[in-house]
Structure 1
Amino acid sequence: MHIHRIAAFTSEGLGGNPAGVVLADRLPPAEEMQRVAAQVGYSETVFSCPNGDGSWLTRYYSPEAEVAFCGHATIALGAVLGQAFGPATYPLTLANNRIEVAAEKRDGEWMSVLRSPPTRSAIAKPELLSEALEIFRYSANELDPTLAPCVAHGGLDHLVVPLHSRAALARMDYDLDEGRRFMRTHAIGTVAFVFSESDRRFQARNAFAIGGVLEDPATGAAAAAFAGMLRDLGRVKEGEIVIMQGVDMGQPCRIEVAFTAELGAPVNVRGKASVIG
């Protein structure tokens, strides 16, 4: 089994979120995929094989459990498929969805664009938000008063908490076990804290305790969910946004999301990828 190690959502050739990518004739047993993901140790490893219907059967594993969808691993998968079979759009059959990833080479770098599952969002319940603020050691007066916290979906549910200052975002901290319990109890994929630099540019940090990782440097699924949330709330009705993530980890990542004004429609998440040396 050959494991490609790819940094997804790199920024000016730096940073990126590492993902393992395995292409196979057919998927290994679930326990084998879980073992490999734990051994690789990245926040996600993606396994993909031809499905017989023109699509690629695709599954995602964190070091601790299978994940229904992972954006940065899909960006990495696109780059590997592009390297192996050439620039093209590749349909993917996931555990619960069908999506696609397109790969092309630009100025010597692989660029992947994933088309997300449909998006949806709802204002976070007060008790859920209150519990999250306690776990992550924030007070209510540190929230952005112009953007409501939401549970947003773009393949997975994410609790998105907008903060009013970059300084507040920089000091995100929590206990991993406590965060894992919270995410498992409420079936949340990540808790995403965001700061609005402008209407179309954001800084983000994503806690991924449910996957055994304190923080994810780039989270394409959460970026898709956040874009859908902005559209639902009328903050950004259509066009493109840029999300910078991983900066506080020393792994700067750039995530670009393009979307139409159609509520609930899938969005396009774009990022560069490179082989990890």
Structure 2
Amino acid sequence: MSLNDQHADVLRYTAFATDPKGGNPAGIVLDASGLDDAAMLAIAADLGYSESAFLTPGPAGLGPEGRAFTVRYFSPRAEVPFCGHATVATAVALAERGGPGDFVFATPAGTVPVTVAEDDGVLRATLTSVEPRVEQAAAADVTEALAALGWSADELDPDLPPRIAFAGARHLVLAAATRERLADLAYDFDRLKALMLRLDLTTVQLVWRDPDTEYVFHVRDPFPVGGVVEDPATGAAAAAFGAYARELGLVPAAAELTLYQGADMGRPGVLTVGLREGDARVRVSGAAVRIPS
């Protein structure tokens, strides 16, 4: 046990998978009331996961006692406004202790309701994003991102144009024309990080659309601003991508998308993105399991 772990009860879960060897690991501290910012950052850095979640009781009136929490998220380098996989992992950890049902998280990005249900012995959490938005990506910024990635413009899918999408955190969406292009990821860490810091991006959401179905996508997320080369399964980016897909008319107003992520890293995960007609918010669902000590 590390020095940092001795100051808090740190749980380790992986989200968007039912196998501890898949999905995206997250650290969880269910009672962070005794930790300051430096201590939370130190724990996140010690764990080395893309994000860790730190909980304190939620503000009065947010929700039922014991099921409403203030949640902060730290990468190994800095605090981030929202993290989907750590939210899913945390909700499942809470449900294992207090039973499935509804939770409410007050996050730096806004209020995020989460519902946990059991299906054939597997707990699945569904988060509801804050209000999303999608904006144009400047041509010069796209050019710089491609240069940092080592991609050429003709390797992009013309039917999925670059955009910046937000559903709690900002992500640049770039669509590869082929699965092979998506699989071959070797980028200039410092160059991409500098661009992302300038644009206030959390990840770059790289996607490839399965030509056999309009509802299946394969995705990857470089995360140099968090000190991590690649995020294995990115719930915040999945929510942002759901808003992107709806905004561009790639799918109907009411749809369920399946995003496969992590296979290229050896940590396969599955994210389900739900869109509802008349409700701009995006729902992201997935399983989570504890990582054995």
Corresponding position of 1:58 = 71
Gaps of 5+ in 1: none
Give the 3 Å change call, closer, same or farther, for CA 25–196 of structure 1 in structure 2.
closer
Corresponding position of 1:139 = 152
Measure how far apart 1:226 and its partner are. 0.4
Write the mapping of 1:60-209 to structure 2, written as runs, cut at 5 A: 60-197=73-210, 198-209=213-224
Q: Is the Cα–Cα contact under 8 Å of residues 76 and 227 in structure 2 kept in the other structure?
A: yes
Measure how far apart 1:29 and its partner are. 0.9
Distance 1:168 1:149 in 2: 16
Give the 3 Å change call, closer, same or farther, for CA 27–266 of structure 1 in structure 2.
farther
Distance 2:82 2:34 in 1: 16
Measure how far apart 1:104 and its partner are. 2.2
Q: Helix, strand or coil: the match of 2:71?
A: strand
2:57 is the counterpart of 1:42? no
Q: Is the Cα–Cα contact under 8 Å of residues 109 and 169 in structure 2 kept in the other structure?
A: no
Measure how far apart 1:100 and its partner are. 1.3
Corresponding position of 1:10 = 17
- Among all aligned residue pairs of Structure 1 and Structure 2, give the percentage whose two residues are the same amino acid: 39
Corresponding position of 2:3 = none
- Equivalent AA in structure 2 for residue 34 of structure 1: L
Give CA deviations for 1:187-237 in whole Å, capped at 9, x if unaligned: 111011100003100000100000000000000000000010110111113
Distance 2:58 2:188 in 1: 40
Corresponding position of 1:230 = 245
Give the 3 Å change call, closer, same or farther, for CA 25–188 of structure 1 in structure 2.
closer
- Equivalent AA in structure 1 for residue 10 of structure 2: I
- Equivalent AA in structure 2 for residue 32 of structure 1: A
Q: Helix, strand or coil: the match of 2:236?
A: helix
Corresponding position of 2:271 = 255
Give CA deviations for 1:14-40 in whole Å, capped at 9, x if unaligned: 511100011016262111111111111
Corresponding position of 2:257 = 241
Q: Helix, strand or coil: the match of 1:215?
A: strand
Distance 1:245 1:188 in 2: 19
Greater mean deviation of Cα atoms: 3-12 or 237-246: 3-12
- Equivalent AA in structure 1 for residue 255 of structure 2: G
Q: Is the Cα–Cα contact under 8 Å of residues 18 and 289 in structure 2 kept in the other structure?
A: no
Task: Give the TM-score normalised by the residue count of structure 1.
Answer: 0.96
Distance 1:96 1:67 in 2: 9
Q: Helix, strand or coil: the match of 2:281?
A: coil
2:225 is the counterpart of 1:215? no
Give CA deviations for 1:83-126 in whole Å, capped at 9, x if unaligned: 12111111111123011111122222221111111111123211
- Equivalent AA in structure 2 for residue 171 of structure 1: D
Q: Is the Cα–Cα contact under 8 Å of residues 25 and 50 in structure 1 kept in the other structure?
A: no
Q: Helix, strand or coil: the match of 1:48?
A: strand
Task: Give the TM-score normalised by the residue count of structure 2.
Answer: 0.91
- Equivalent AA in structure 2 for residue 70 of structure 1: C
Distance 1:254 1:14 in 2: 13
- The root-mean-square deviation of aligned C-alpha atoms, in Å, is 1.4
Q: Is the Cα–Cα contact under 8 Å of residues 34 and 61 in structure 1 kept in the other structure?
A: yes
Q: Helix, strand or coil: the match of 2:267?
A: coil
Q: Is the Cα–Cα contact under 8 Å of residues 18 and 288 in structure 2 kept in the other structure?
A: no
